[in-house]
C-alpha cells in the first residue's frame, strides 16, 4: 500500500510540475506581447534587402555607396532619401548610424532617435531598433 501511495505522489508531482510549466509559458508569452505593445510579431524578413520601400533602380547605387563606407552612405542618403520610404529607409539609416557611431556619436544618437520616433512597433525594423536602443540612448 505504501508503494502505491508513493507512486501516486510521484505521478502527482510530475503532473503538477508540467501544469506549472504550461502556466509559466503562457504568462511569459503574454508579457512579451505586452512589451511589444500588443502588436503581433514582425512577419517580414529581417534582411534589409527584403524590405519594401526602395525602388529597384536605386538598389545598385545603394550597394555602391555601402562599399564606400560611412561617407558614401551619407552622400547617398542626401541624394536619394526623398525617393526611399520606410521600412527600408529606416534600415539604411540604422546601417549609417552603426557606421558613424565611433567617429560621430552625437550625429549617430540624433539620427537613431529620429528613426526610433517614426518607426512603429509592428515594423520589421523594430527588433533592430530595440537591439541598438541601449547603445544610442
Residue 6: pLDDT over 80: yes
Distance CA 15, CA 27 (A): 19
For 22-80, the pLDDT digits (tens) are 888 888 888 877 776 655 444 444 566 678 888 888 888 988 998 998 899 999 999 99
pLDDT of residue 49: 65
Main-chain dihedrals φ then ψ at residue 2, nearest 5 degrees:
-60, -35
Nearest to 76 by CA among 108, 54, 98: 54
CA distance 20 to 112: 41
With bands split at pLDDT 50, 70 and 90, how would you rate the model's confidence at 11? very high
How confident is the prediction for the chain on average, in pLDDT?
A: 84
pTM given for the model: 0.64
pLDDT digits (tens, 9 = 90+) for 82-119: 898 888 999 999 999 999 988 888 888 999 999 999 99
Element (H, E) at 122: none
Determine the average pLDDT of the residues in 8-18: 90
Amino acid at each position: 500500500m505504501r508503494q502505491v501511495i508513493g507512486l501516486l505522489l510521484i505521478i502527482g508531482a510530475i503532473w503538477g510540475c508540467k501544469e506549472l510549466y504550461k502556466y509559466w509559458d503562457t504568462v511569459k508569452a503574454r508579457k512579451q506581447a505586452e512589451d511589444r505593445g500588443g502588436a503581433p510579431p514582425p512577419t517580414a524578413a529581417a534582411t534589409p534587402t527584403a524590405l519594401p520601400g526602395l525602388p529597384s533602380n536605386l538598389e545598385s547605387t545603394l550597394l555602391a555607396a555601402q562599399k564606400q563606407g560611412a561617407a558614401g552612405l551619407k552622400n547617398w542618403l542626401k541624394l536619394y532619401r526623398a525617393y526611399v520610404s520606410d521600412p527600408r529607409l529606416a534600415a539604411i539609416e540604422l546601417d549609417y548610424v552603426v557606421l558613424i557611431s565611433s567617429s560621430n556619436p552625437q550625429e549617430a544618437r540624433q539620427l537613431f532617435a529620429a528613426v526610433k520616433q517614426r518607426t512603429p512597433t509592428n515594423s520589421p525594423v523594430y527588433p533592430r531598433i530595440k537591439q541598438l536602443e541601449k547603445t544610442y540612448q
